[in-house]
Amino acid sequence: MRNEGLGSWPARRARKTPHRTALIHHGTTYTYADLHDRTTRLAHVLRAQGVRRGDRVAYLGPNHPSYLETLFAAGTLGAVFVPLNTRLSTAELAYQIRDSGAKTLLHTGGGDQAKELSVPVTIEAEGGRYEELLATAPADPVDEAVGGDDLCLIMYTSGTTGRPKGAMLTHANLTWNAINVLVDHDLIADEVALVSAPLFHTAGLNMLTLPVLLKGGTCVLVGAFDPEATFDLVRRHGITFMFGVPTMFDLLTRQPAWPTADLSSLRILTCGGAPVPPPLIAAYQERGLTFLQGYGMTEAAPGTLFLDAEHAVSKAGSAGVPHFFSDVQVVGPDLTPVDTGETGEVVVRGPHVMPGYWGLPAETEAAFSDGWFRTGDAARVDADGYVTIVDRFKDMIISGGENIYPAEIEAALLAHPDVAECAVIGVPDEKWGEVPRAIVVPRTGAAPPPESLLASLSGQLAKYKIPKSLILAPELPRTASGKLIKSRLRATYGTAPTLDEQDSSQR
């Protein structure tokens, strides 16, 4: 087999465990032999449509078997997979299509939007027509020579500022990331993963689905996260492995079924995107479950730091230590490691780190220094080597010469029972140059006075870190992938009334 990339995974799995279940979707079961056969046939379909080595193949749609079939089929041909975020506007999707140069688009649902994108070759990847295409395509093996350093996919970053950039991830990047997950999560062949996080995001694909398929486990694909339905899925399929962001896990605890739901099959809960609040950790511990937390980024495919279950409580708030095949340092401006407890920038290198951004050589050069990828994230390392992410450097507030990291204040506010979401920005101040301002979304049914929320921070934070003003808001602006857009927050609230100037309707 000349293909050493992801495109060969279905064939390699089919020769080892052909009859084991690979995918379950809406009651339909696909064995590894099925996945190999369907992937091979789709590769022939794409080749007949003119797809060749290096060509970009885009996919638009929620979690569906055809997403993975397209990823593997593109890899079989040496083509490049471009996953598209279903939450983006047509204009945003069109930009990514143009930027990547994709001439082929497969999609499920959203047919009207797919037509608006004006891609030369468009294939509806579900339903009778799709199944007919596969059934009539050849099943002969395709053995294109594909190496680890060949480009596998282009995954666009969220773009909280400016245009999103396409992170180029090679077959080796994705394979080494999957190996890191296998090692650090201790996955087994009997794993049954619930894939409700979107596959077009790096965590749902690379930290959950691909490692499970590499190991020979089963992935239960659902189109979207539904907290009420999750309990039934866990019970019915014997789910052992779940991934989600803290909000998803928090929503589960708020369901009426939470106290009595059968969660006995669950073995691994991984959480990313933000630190898991201690009250949420405690809620799951009461059910005998512990979170595995981590830190990563699309550019690192994405796993970088990992906090195991043994240290989930003793190192709560930390992102852990580097994955097995990952190197991480926290460095100062001169790019040398900072002392224990000092704040510096996280840099990472390893076989899972991308070679660069698609079509952006200058941005690629700026992102690397002596082989290390510069994340732009501020962090501290404790005496045991555990890394705590402090904030983005660009979000740091300098007040009277003191460095203030909004994430520290946000974490303290989120511990308040009346706070659902919050963000902290810097606003101009005549005396100190800049001071923190908090924007808070109250929990449903709550109406906390801003002054009481600020008072709750006394004793938790140094006085200079406590926001000088707090504004209640109905929601926070986010990208389609859920990342907070602080530039929009600053534009909206950077000159908004201070706490003292708010009228009673805002209190």
Mean pLDDT lowest for which of 215-224, 355-364, 491-500?
Answer: 491-500
Written as one string, the DSSP assignment of 11-45 is: HHHHHH-TTSEEEEETTEEEEHHHHHHHHHHHHHH
Contact 330, 338 (CB under 8 A): yes
**Element (H or E) spanning 192, and its range?**
strand 192-195
Q: Which fold has domain 29-147?
A: Rossmann fold (3.40.50)
Question: Given this model, what pLDDT does residue 505 score?
Answer: 28
What is the tens place of the pLDDT at every residue in 439-455?
999 998 999 999 999 99
pLDDT tens digit sequence for 252-277: 999 999 999 999 999 999 988 777 77
The tally of CA atoms less than 13 A away on the side-chain side of residue 267 is 13
Q: Which residues pair with 419 in a beta bridge?
A: 442
In sequence order, the β-bridge partners of residue 476 are: none
- What per-residue confidence (pLDDT) applies to 481? 66
Question: What is the pLDDT at residue 101?
Answer: 98
- The stretch 305-320 carries a mean pLDDT of 90
Cβ–Cβ < 8 Å for 405, 415: no
Which of the 8 DSSP states describes residue 359?
Answer: T
With CA atoms as reference, report the closest residue to 424 among 402, 443, 461, 397.
397
Burial of 498 (0-12, 13-18, 19+ CB in 10 A): middle
Q: How confident is the model at residue 158 (pLDDT cuts 50, 70, 90)?
A: low
**Count of C-beta atoms within a 10 Å radius of residue 58:** 27
Q: List the one residue out of 273, 43, 52, 299 whose CA is nearest residue 155.
A: 299
In this predicted structure, the answer to whether residue 501 has a pLDDT above a threshold of 90 is no
Residue 283 has pLDDT above 60, yes or no: yes
The residues spanned by each domain of the chain are 29-147, 396-506
State pLDDT tens for residues 30-76. 999 999 999 999 999 999 999 999 999 999 999 999 999 999 999 99
Strands 291-296 and 303-307: antiparallel
- pLDDT tier at 90, thresholds 50, 70, 90: confident
pLDDT of residue 502: 39
pLDDT for 65 = 98
Average pLDDT over residues 106-122: 89
Q: Is the pLDDT of residue 394 over 80?
A: no
- pLDDT-derived band at 496 (thresholds 50, 70, 90) equals low
Give the per-residue pLDDT at 280. 87
pTM (2 d.p.): 0.85
Task: Report the amino acid identity of residue 506.
Answer: Q
How would you classify residue 179: left for phi > 0, otherwise alpha for psi between -120 and 50, otherwise beta?
alpha
pLDDT at 507 over 50: no
Superfamily in which the 396-506 domain is placed by CATH: ANL, C-terminal domain (3.30.300.30)
Q: Are strands 372-381 and 327-331 parallel, antiparallel or unpaired?
A: unpaired
Q: Distance between alpha carbon 41 and the CA centroid of its chain, in Å?
A: 30
User: Could you tell me the pLDDT band of residue 159, with boundaries at 50, 70 and 90?
Assistant: low
Residue 71: helix, strand or coil by DSSP?
helix
pLDDT exceeds cutoff 50 at 412: yes
The whole-number average pLDDT for the span 189-213 is: 96
Confidence band, pLDDT 50/70/90 cuts, at residue 400: confident
Q: Does residue 495 register a pLDDT over 90?
A: no
Q: Assess whether pLDDT exceeds 70 at residue 367.
A: yes
% residues pLDDT > 70 (the chain): 95
d(CA 246, CA 240): 18
Q: What's the average model confidence in pLDDT over 407-421?
A: 90
Stretch 6-12: mean pLDDT? 98
Tell me what pLDDT residue 432 has.
82
Q: In the predicted model, what is the mean pLDDT of the chain? A: 91
